Structure 1
């Protein structure tokens, strides 16, 4: 158990190893919890490059985690598989994996943050399908967990959910679908919160995205 915890801490503290380096480590790794984390990391990194490979590594990690009874590793693997499916525009598979991640994470105290991120993932899937009410529900569940300190919350995580809500309300207004009268106010509120949160961090693409979202909110308001 200390072995996988040590690996997790090293991965969190250092820049992520490259895919070739992870593959070299995997070649000699025994079938233990460390191997689950290596497979999960490969699934995550390859999700934007080679979805077939990403899914293969993720499935291997998921099977091994289940065989070992490594519940946290199972949650990680399900979340990475969901992300890979979402990036492949397979919303059905992404939703299925995220739902499984939520159910598993609810029984694993150390997976509290992963539970919140899985709820965010379900919100993104619903938003992609233009089921805005469902997306709002998942995003608000995730935000509520952060506000009630269900786990340690970073400004990046908080700003991410705030920006997702701002984007959802903007997309909902643009869609022309039936919507509450409060959309404009809510969109502006969460856009401002996201900008304020990301301004606490060094400037990067997250702040740029939040500022762009605020610009969209103002543009939509100008059309009313």
Structure 2
């Protein structure tokens, strides 16, 4: 069991770590959570040297909007340091985009590419050999909810894709992954999202008036099979944390 904690950075209260936290707790890995929107100067983010791992969640911001959200610059700097230290790191949605920028990859605003991708759909072109992303090749669907897109490069190619998003996952280093989708979301967490007026309105704008019913039905269909597959992914992440602690 790791003695140092895994830092979980949230950008809004409702975008919680969900299944990620469940698996970390199952491995008895301590965690500490910070909501960066309430800490605009990043002063409460611990240094990489005090961490066993780093998880950065999603949010409605653009990864490059550091003028409006100064804490994003602090997070990007922390992610850069995490990459240099080979700290086990996982970025989800906005967190993946911040990790991409820390790794030198481009992030294109939604209006410059495809329309928003929102809803449950399977991944394609999954690299089954990747220990974290590979298990999700067999997931019937994962939740997508984003507008911006990451651009991979030859050194950090895409590990999964969908028709409208060529980079659904990438590896930024030996122990660092970015996932554009939301494998952490189960039925209960989705309900909390949809109880937020801004989330519900966005869903209806993209999917139509039956969006909430459709999203909940698709979650019921996909979540039971997705959970054990994502647990496999997170088990690998936890093993990296434990190996670091032993080393």
Both proteins in one fold, TM over 0.5: no
Greater strand content: 2
Q: Which has the higher contact order (CA 8 A, sep 6+)?
A: 2
Query: Higher Cα Rg: structure 1 or 2?
Result: 1
TM-score range, shorter chain: 0.3 to 0.5
Please give the TM-score of this superposition, normalised by the length of structure 1.
0.36
TM-score by length of 2: 0.34
